[in-house]
Amino acid sequence: MTYDGPTQSVNLLSWQGLEIPIKEDWHPLRIEGEYRKGAVTIGDIEGPVFQLRWIRPAKGADTSGWIEARRLSVAGGQESRGAPHPEGFDDVSWVKNLAVREESKKTVWWGRSERYDMLVEILLTNLRHSEINRYFARTCLPKLRIVPPAEDCTWRVYSARFLVPAGYRLTRKRLATGDIALEFVRGRGERLLVRQVYPAGLALERRSMAGWLRDRVFKERRRFRRETEDGHDGKRIRWTGWKRLPFPLGWVMPRRCDSVILQNQDMDRLFIVESQWMDGAPVVPVDKIADGMLWSAA
């Protein structure tokens, strides 16, 4: 099997402000950490292909010697020529086919971006066919991208794709088969939930669209009180209202709440978006975000 042919289908992994193209049959096997530090292991049905690690150092930290320090720690200072240099990285380096133990080798790539305060390490092992590593180094790694913090950020994992406004950070996630949900926070009292449920036909046998819109993915103390309802044509429902703490604290820091659910029969998916904010914060267009999920199965 070859991994260099032009007919290879390519997908995109987007997570925590990093984007990298991957083969269509590759997917996350393990996701760890959070915004400041974490890792994603990518593979297929045969096992892992590579691991992507990131660190966002403290503001003002001197990271100029980080690559050299990692190369010394991992490879005894060795360095290979021709390290891929994706756009947005100030310094890059790698060591190829580093002997780990008998008949075991690994390739490690490092990148440092001072502009975006990002340190990245990518690890490949020789446990898979050598053509897989060559495909990754030639096709995927050069297109690694850091999403600027001021830009809206795409989060793409498995079959789900969510376009999240700039400034939001992931706080909670559910990555279950058929039910992917991400919750974000921004500023003071701003929360955003995006969710994809699949297959929609089976989900709607369990509960109605209104029931899915009412369903809570993550525990929260605030309770929703609906003020208006739009749609309800069997394809889209939109609610507006308030989320308040239980009595007698309902007057303490109440939040506005907009939520929408839409069904796409062609994709057999339900898309759900909920936005909470306090007076004075910008209103997040939940309909626009939900419509953007229609790219998910593209």
* Residue 109 near residue 141, CB atoms below 8 Å: yes
Q: Are 15 and 122 within one domain?
A: yes
Q: How far apart are CA 164 and CA 215, in angstroms?
A: 21
Q: Are 235 and 259 within one domain?
A: yes
Q: Are 138 and 216 within one domain?
A: no
Reported as a single tens digit per residue, the pLDDT across 173-231 is 999 989 999 999 998 889 999 999 999 999 999 999 999 999 999 988 888 888 888 87
Tokens 């495909």 -> residue: 135
pLDDT of residue 2 exceeding 60: no
Top mean pLDDT of 49-53, 72-76, 290-294 is at 49-53
Q: Are 162 and 279 within one domain?
A: yes
Choice between 88 and 284, residue whose per-residue pLDDT is larger:
88
Q: Are 122 and 216 within one domain?
A: no
Q: How far apart are CA 277 and CA 253, in angstroms?
A: 10
Q: What is the pLDDT of residue 295?
A: 58
Choice between 283 and 92, residue whose per-residue pLDDT is larger:
92
Supply φ then ψ for residue 132, to 5 degrees. Answer: -65, -45
Q: Are 249 and 132 within one domain?
A: no
> Is residue 3 in a domain?
no
Choice between 297 and 110, residue whose per-residue pLDDT is larger:
110
> Is residue 39 in a domain?
yes
Task: Please spell the DSSP secondary structure of 48-82, one letter per residue.
Answer: EEEEEEEE-PPTT---TTHHHHHHHHHHTT---S-
**Assign residue 291 a region: left if phi > 0, alpha if psi is -120 to 50, beta otherwise?**
alpha
**Number of domains making up the chain:** 2
Domain at 68, CATH number: 3.40.1000.10
Q: Are 157 and 100 within one domain?
A: no
Average pLDDT of the segment spanning 142-170: 93
Task: Look up the pTM and report it.
Answer: 0.88
Residue span of the structural domain in which 71 resides: 10-146
Reported as a single tens digit per residue, the pLDDT across 61-99 is 999 999 999 999 998 888 999 999 999 999 999 999 888
